[in-house]
Structure 1
Amino acid sequence: MPDPIACIEDLRAAARRRVPRMFYDYVDSGSYTESTYHANEADLRQIRLRQRVGVNIDARSLETVMAGRKVAMPVALAPTGLAGMMRGDGEILAARAAQRFGVPFTLSTMSICSIEDVARSVPSPFWFQLYVMRDRAFIEQLMQRAASAGCTALVVTMDLPVGGQRHKDVRNGLSTPPRMTLNNLLNMASKPAWTWGMARAKRRHFGNIVGHVKGVDDMSSLASWVRDQFDPTVTWADIEWIRKRWNGKLILKGILDTHDALRAVDAGADVIVVSNHGGRQLDGAVSTIEALPSIAEAVGERVEVWFDSGIRTGQDVLKAVALGARGTMIGRAFLYGLAAAGEAGVRRSLEIIAAELDTTMALCGYADIGAVGPEILASRGFAQS
């Protein structure tokens, strides 16, 4: 573990030192000008908290329930593509850290380790994230594999009918495994710990796809297949089709609009996640914390509303809960830890967020995360009325 690690920013700096540029930039970037990526964090920082005293806050609890599962705090690890390129076998390491800490882990369709890899490596059920692709037979196969692996929830990502362009990815020529260009070879040579770890890892391709799709057996065929598969024709009817075929919890991620939240409920969602894909899709979209209150007010009594995109501290989690979120998801925050120190780094990211959440809740005069509401806020910053 890099030392000292006091906050998520320390893990970010350690990740940047350890991981090749193309994979670090893949995580730490947004689309186009990155205005929405930065607004997610900036708008959270603008919110002010009310400090309260004279309250017994000795016996505190962060425990709650997310999608029917008891969790140590209202945080789940979000689905993140290419986690296995931040650290060899990265999805397995992150899943282990999450389960040992007591929070859920979500495996991405675009993971390096497959559903079966993770299921063999962790004792408890995890969640699986699904992209709606043109090949509906493959989608059904993925859902069947997730169910067979014991996954208790399906997280359907709604906000990627087409891919948002991240300029850094274009400039870096992002691929997995990385292309052996001179620039890439020189950059990897400057990251010997990462290079050695990846050389020892068994998994370097998209494990949920390679070997499971006819004709996809190498990087060129995989790249072509992925490029053609993201489906711009997806509608709410497709979500209803998925709902009929999935017996577990259905979580719809990527909701920013109240009308879409209402449609998600009608389509059978058990949970909706207010998310803008970490600012990686529509640049210029509202920040997620700005979108959260109206969505929570519109549908929060009918389904669980969660918050995603921009969380870097436990204070961010508390602010989201105060504005109506019953749970949150973190992506970059745990990926920095994974890149910096593997399983121990993911655990450290969770420890940091939990400690910050606990301390801030206490200083605001609360002992139970379930009792936190908007009265904990002194102002809403951007949403000040």
Structure 2
Amino acid sequence: MLGKPDLQANGYSIDAMRRLARSALPRFVFDFADGAAEDEWTLRRNEAAFDDYIFWPRPLNGAGQRDLSITLFGRTLSMPLILGPTGLAGLFWPQGEQCIARAAAGAGTAFCLSHGSVCTLEDVAALGASPRWMQVFIYRDRGFTRELASRAEAAGYDALVLTTDNQILGKRERDVRNGFSIPPRFGPLDLAAMALKAPWLWRMREELRRINFGNYVRDGENTDIKTLAARMQSLLDQGMNWADVDTLRAQWKGPLILKGVLHPDEAREALRHGIDGIIVSNHGGRQLDGAIGSLDALPAVIEAVEGRIPVLVDGGIRRGADVVKAIALGATACLEGRPHLWGVAVAGEAGVAHVLETFRREIDRVMGLCGVRSVAEIGPHLVSRVSH
């Protein structure tokens, strides 16, 4: 009953891994990761935008050997795909964040730890997995922003990812419908749902008692998850501004990446404030429903930065072909979030490794079929927009 599924036979694509995760998890846990804000239009647009582009392959280019590696912020990554920050990964598998970090390191790519991880940022750093990035926000308590940045520096994180689009929590109606909340409250219906997913419940039987937001725990304070969740929400600052970015820039000496950029004017402003990289993202459609799709926003942001800093894109990445299309449009690399949560939910570290290997094989296959020998050869000549 507790055995892991045959990933090669049943997890043959990212969508297949999603189906396996849906079967493995109680509905309220699956929907927490899978769902988005309100009508979920932006979530759907993130994925559908890739269908607007077609490839123009040139198979006689002699691409018998392909190099998927890139260099980003001075580090070599095995492929142009990074694991983005996903909160409460430890709700999907015991020590979920650690599983994700080890899988990323094993695949030779970077990952970003969520501020809302179950474990602490120090716990993940102790694994030695790298490159590792740390997500932070601008908090009402500016001292806590400084504290997290200082802890990330002391723990040897390679980059800081300042997320700007979570200052007001989006209305995620699947969570509302399921009665799911932060912190998770397990009522009779939830307990019944968990009982129907016996392997997950068995794995998590001890972990569920310890689900917490590790980075928010402070010595001498109430550390129950309800108190910490309330503190997290109270710390979100709707009045954050560029002066706060300047303050963080002055403190953090490593790469500072701005996540949540969609408008080209904001990209240009980021350059003026010394930002080292941009992640074009709408938070996976989990915040502002009706926001522009990430891939739709990418070309204008690319034009705005004029090649001065790397531009990454996050949202709707479900195929290796999506990664290649994004790079053809000018992205340096892509981030994914939900796929690795589906992977960790199905088989822990092995599930995440399988997701990454699935992406790697698909990226390599697309490059080969298109006649592309390296990521550097992927360019606008490779794709065109479909005429409707």
Q: Under TM normalisation by the shorter chain, which class is it? A: over 0.9
Output the amino acid matched with 2:385: R
> In the alignment, does 2:321 pair up with 1:318?
no
- Aligned residues of 1:176 and 1:205 also touching (Cα < 8 A): no
1:186 corresponds to which residue?
Answer: 192
Secondary structure of the residue aligned to 1:272 is: strand
> What is the TM-score with the length of structure 1 in the denominator?
0.95
- Aligned residues of 2:182 and 2:226 also touching (Cα < 8 A): no
Question: CA RMSD, aligned part only?
Answer: 1.6
Correspondence list, 1:289-304, <5 A: 289-304=295-310
Q: Number of aligned pairs?
A: 381
- Aligned residues of 2:213 and 2:229 also touching (Cα < 8 A): no
Deviation digits for residues 186-221 of structure 1, max 9, x if unmatched? 011111221122224484101111235x64421332
Correspondence list, 1:53-92, <5 A: 53-92=59-98
> In the alignment, does 2:251 pair up with 1:248?
no
Output the amino acid matched with 2:205: A
Task: After TM superposition, give the deviation of residue 227 of structure 1 in Å.
Answer: 2.2
Correspondence list, 1:271-282, <5 A: 271-282=277-288
CA distance in 2, matches of 1:223, 1:106: 21
Output the amino acid matched with 1:205: N
Runs of 5+ unmatched residues, structure 1: none
CA separation of 1:340/1:304 partners in 2, compared to 1, >3 Å: closer, same or farther? same
CA separation of 1:125/1:149 partners in 2, compared to 1, >3 Å: closer, same or farther? farther
Deviation digits for residues 23-53 of structure 1, max 9, x if unmatched? 2101111111100100110111221111222
Task: After TM superposition, give the deviation of residue 239 of structure 1 in Å.
Answer: 0.7
Q: 2:312 aligns with which of 282, 306, 309?
A: 306
- Aligned residues of 2:183 and 2:226 also touching (Cα < 8 A): no
> In the alignment, does 2:22 pair up with 1:2?
no
Output the amino acid matched with 2:94: G
CA distance in 2, matches of 1:173, 1:216: 25
Task: After TM superposition, give the deviation of residue 286 of structure 1 in Å.
Answer: 1.1
Correspondence list, 1:177-216, <5 A: 178-201=184-207, 203-211=210-218, 215-216=221-222
1:135 corresponds to which residue?
Answer: 141
Output the amino acid matched with 2:196: S
Identity %: 43
2:154 corresponds to which residue?
Answer: 148
Deviation digits for residues 216-248 of structure 1, max 9, x if unmatched? 421332232122111101001111110001011
CA distance in 2, matches of 1:200, 1:50: 52
> In the alignment, does 2:376 pair up with 1:370?
yes
CA distance in 2, matches of 1:124, 1:287: 30
CA separation of 1:69/1:312 partners in 2, compared to 1, >3 Å: closer, same or farther? same
> In the alignment, does 2:119 pair up with 1:98?
no
Deviation digits for residues 29-87 of structure 1, max 9, x if unmatched? 11111001001101112211112222211121000012221100011100111111111
CA distance in 1, matches of 2:228, 2:206: 23
Runs of 5+ unmatched residues, structure 2: none
Task: After TM superposition, give the deviation of residue 161 of structure 1 in Å.
Answer: 1.3
2:385 corresponds to which residue?
Answer: 380
CA separation of 1:124/1:40 partners in 2, compared to 1, >3 Å: closer, same or farther? closer
- Aligned residues of 1:67 and 1:249 also touching (Cα < 8 A): yes
2:25 corresponds to which residue?
Answer: 19
Output the amino acid matched with 1:325: A
Task: After TM superposition, give the deviation of residue 126 of structure 1 in Å.
Answer: 1.2
- Aligned residues of 2:182 and 2:229 also touching (Cα < 8 A): no
- Aligned residues of 1:95 and 1:122 also touching (Cα < 8 A): no
Output the amino acid matched with 2:325: K
Secondary structure of the residue aligned to 1:253 is: strand
2:174 corresponds to which residue?
Answer: 168
Output the amino acid matched with 2:67: S
> What is the TM-score with the length of structure 2 in the denominator?
0.95
CA distance in 2, matches of 1:122, 1:16: 31
CA separation of 1:38/1:140 partners in 2, compared to 1, >3 Å: closer, same or farther? same
Task: After TM superposition, give the deviation of residue 133 of structure 1 in Å.
Answer: 1.3
CA distance in 2, matches of 1:269, 1:88: 35
Task: After TM superposition, give the deviation of residue 123 of structure 1 in Å.
Answer: 4.2
Secondary structure of the residue aligned to 1:15 is: helix
Task: After TM superposition, give the deviation of residue 268 of structure 1 in Å.
Answer: 1.3
- Aligned residues of 1:89 and 1:203 also touching (Cα < 8 A): no
Output the amino acid matched with 1:208: N
Secondary structure of the residue aligned to 1:349 is: helix
1:116 corresponds to which residue?
Answer: 122
CA distance in 2, matches of 1:119, 1:134: 26
Secondary structure of the residue aligned to 2:364 is: helix
- Aligned residues of 1:12 and 1:336 also touching (Cα < 8 A): yes
CA distance in 2, matches of 1:300, 1:319: 19
